Amino acid sequence: MKRISILLFLIFYTLVYCQENAFIINNKQVVWQRIYETDKNISQIKNTLLTSGKIKFTLEENNILMGEISNFIMDYKGAGFTKMGTPMYLNENSKFNGTFKLELKENRYRVSVTNIICEGYSLSIYSGGLGISDNGKDNIETLILTNDREYFKGSFQGKPSRIVNYSFANLFDITKYNSTDDNW
């Protein structure tokens, strides 16, 4: 009975506190990375992603695309959550910017997002008529990593990591966009 209890506890702990595996820490910087299946070529992928309006390409060579994400709002509703309990930096008032690299190889493409910056959320503290305000422009490492930038904060595991993962996954999933390649 004791072994069964321990086993159930470990399974529960793993399911509840499991970190989304799309996030890695590389040189004390957060990287979101995901691999997608596709039968499209690099120019078709580029044209499809341009329809989002959130992506700007800065470099294209061989089977690699590099670019920037701008004014991207995390989709906490699409991830299955409500505004209540969602961290301020992930609500609709916050916009994310960053850089990405897309690599195409053998009917797959890998997207890596780095240099993620959150801006737009504001923090105001009022006490005795004195107000202190912050414009809320921070890199994501400040928000989700411990002070030594070696580990994810416990507060990021769970809801926040699922919201960010869901939002980036949908942004770069070309099957979510209507195809503009019509031969009519």
CA 56 – CA 31 distance, rounded (Å): 19
52 neighbors 61 (Cβ within 8 angstroms): no
Give strand ranges (E) for 19-94: 23-26, 29-37, 55-61, 64-72
Summarised one tens digit per residue, pLDDT across range 90-148 is 888 889 999 999 999 999 999 999 999 998 765 556 655 555 555 667 889 988 999 88
CA 160 – CA 89 distance, rounded (Å): 9
Q: Which of these ranges, 55-59, 121-125, 159-163, has the smallest mean pLDDT?
A: 121-125
Q: For residue 18, what pLDDT is reported?
A: 44
| Residue 7, pLDDT above cutoff 80 | no
Q: For residue 122, what pLDDT is reported?
A: 58
CA 82 – CA 80 distance, rounded (Å): 7
| Residue 5, pLDDT above cutoff 80 | no
Look at 122 and 83; give whichever has higher pLDDT: 83
Q: Residue range 78-96: average pLDDT?
A: 88
Q: Residue range 65-87: average pLDDT?
A: 92
102 neighbors 174 (Cβ within 8 angstroms): no
Q: Residue range 31-46: average pLDDT?
A: 94
Token pair belonging to 59:
């470099």
| Residue 29, pLDDT above cutoff 90 | yes
Domains of the chain: residue spans and CATH: 21-176 (3.30.530)
Q: For residue 76, what pLDDT is reported?
A: 93
22 neighbors 168 (Cβ within 8 angstroms): yes
DSSP state of 53: S
Sign of CA dihedral 6, 7, 8, 9: positive
